[in-house]
Structure 1
Amino acid sequence: MQHDKKSITQEKKRHTRKHTTGSTRKKRIILLSKAKAGKVHDKKQLDEEDWVSNIPDAVAIEGDLGYQGLQNEFVNVHLPHKKPKGQELTEAQKQENREFSRQRVKCEHAHAGMKRYNSVTATYRNRIPDFDDRLMLIAAGLWNFYLDTA
């Protein structure tokens, strides 16, 4: 069976929606934004929510490289080291990134816990306004309930 090269290499273009979430190291979801278009950059979406300025400086905020530049605006924001163009990270920076990743993986586990409720990951075809926000809120609530009962 032959495949047309164009169909194999062609990207599936989708109109995606995404949420910004905040979680604790105990995997509990504590912040959830309204859905935005998938093409909106992570940092821009976070700036529109204006969460970071309301969090005290004593509380450490850890993010991924999608929030690059936020560490220059706030003292409590910590991001991994970004590899300089044409150069490599030092061994100390690599070690810091590994330690940072060990802490941030708990946040990723919280996201995976919400996604276990397939309603937030499956293709959404309804036309009801803001229904995806309700689904995500329910999934976050169920995940937090699961953590409380486990």
Structure 2
Amino acid sequence: EKLFYILLYCKCYPTFDLLSVLFNFDRSCAHDWVHRLLSVLETTLGEKQVLPARKLRSMEEFTKRFPDVKEVIVDGTERPVQRPQNRERQKEYYSGKKKRHTCKQITVSTREKRVIIRTKTRAGKVHDKRLLHESEIVQYIPDEVAIEGDLGFHGLEKEFVNVHLPHKKPKGKELTQQQKEENRELSRQRVVCEHAHSGIKRYNCVHSVYRNRVTDFDDQLMLVSAGLWNFYLDAA
């Protein structure tokens, strides 16, 4: 029953008022049980080795944790949040890309749609490339592992030899036919990352507008949802 309770919360993201009605206890108990059981679920998924890494400390760590990975895709994903009351926080969380207030993470996925690394959740205003740099992920991925990304990481290919990005259209000029073909091929390869994000967002707790107030709870929800998605892939 406890497993059903926390999986229901992750999948449907009901309010604590609704949970209290469905399970016949007080609203405060509904709140306490969600936070208690989510930590238990996170620990269990960690024991199953399906949680994505939060941070890398060396290339040796990457090789040890992911010995069979030869190619990865990096991309950002955002989720909407309630509009902050504070004006400064409104600016901090406003995403020019989504035209609304969001929070975001960068994920690193494999060809098998498995999310192996994810950054800490940040405000939507932070640019993808800046967030990736601050998270210190790319520098700990070995050179023999190819890294694919989109133009949101433009310039990264000049810093790391294993980064492959689409060709950017020159100002006032057009891409050659070969460059267009290469961009299309890269897009076909990168689409698995979007499939991984879609898999994670099967869980409404990371898809719907975030409404909780507990510090870093959104980060924990994303971590657990990614772990559940990886667990599903392993079981499928």
Higher RCO (C-alpha under 8 Å, 6+ residues apart): 2
> What is the CA–CA distance in structure 1 between the aligned matches of 2:121 and 2:137, rounded to whole Å?
15
- Offset of 1:108 from its aligned partner? 1.0
Of 103, 106, 114 in structure 1, the residue corresponding to residue 189 of structure 2 is 103
Question: Deviation per CA, 1:67-87, whole angstroms, max 9, x where unpaired?
Answer: 001000000000011111221
> What is the CA–CA distance in structure 2 between the aligned matches of 1:108 and 1:45, rounded to whole Å?
19
Of 173, 179, 183 in structure 2, the residue corresponding to residue 87 of structure 1 is 173
Does residue 119 of structure 1 match 2:215? no
Task: Tell me which structure has the larger Cα radius of gyration.
Answer: 2
- Offset of 1:126 from its aligned partner? 1.0
Of 103, 115, 126 in structure 2, the residue corresponding to residue 40 of structure 1 is 126
Matches within 5 A, 1:11-90: 14-90=100-176
> What is the CA–CA distance in structure 2 between the aligned matches of 1:13 and 1:97, rounded to whole Å?
26
Which stretch of structure 1 is more off in the superposition, 12-21 or 132-141? 12-21
Q: Given the two structures, how large is their TM-score scaled by the length of structure 2?
A: 0.57
- Offset of 1:14 from its aligned partner? 3.8
- Offset of 1:13 from its aligned partner? 6.2
Over the aligned positions, Cα root-mean-square deviation in angstroms equals 1.5
- Offset of 1:15 from its aligned partner? 3.0
Moved over 4 A (4+): none
Of 139, 142, 147 in structure 1, the residue corresponding to residue 225 of structure 2 is 139
Identify unmatched segments of 5+ residues in structure 1.
1-11
> What is the CA–CA distance in structure 2 between the aligned matches of 1:133 and 1:97, rounded to whole Å?
33
The aligned amino acid for 1:104 is R
**Secondary structure of the structure 2 residue equivalent to 1:84:** coil
Change beyond 3 A, Cα 1:13–1:65: closer
> What is the CA–CA distance in structure 1 between the aligned matches of 2:132 and 2:153, rounded to whole Å?
8
> What is the CA–CA distance in structure 2 between the aligned matches of 1:25 and 1:13, rounded to whole Å?
30
The aligned amino acid for 2:142 is P
Identify unmatched segments of 5+ residues in structure 2.
1-97
Q: Given the two structures, how large is their TM-score scaled by the length of structure 1?
A: 0.89
**Secondary structure of the structure 2 residue equivalent to 1:19:** strand
Question: Deviation per CA, 1:52-71, whole angstroms, max 9, x where unpaired?
Answer: 11111000000111000100
Change beyond 3 A, Cα 1:14–1:94: closer
Change beyond 3 A, Cα 1:102–1:14: closer
Aligned to 1:3: none
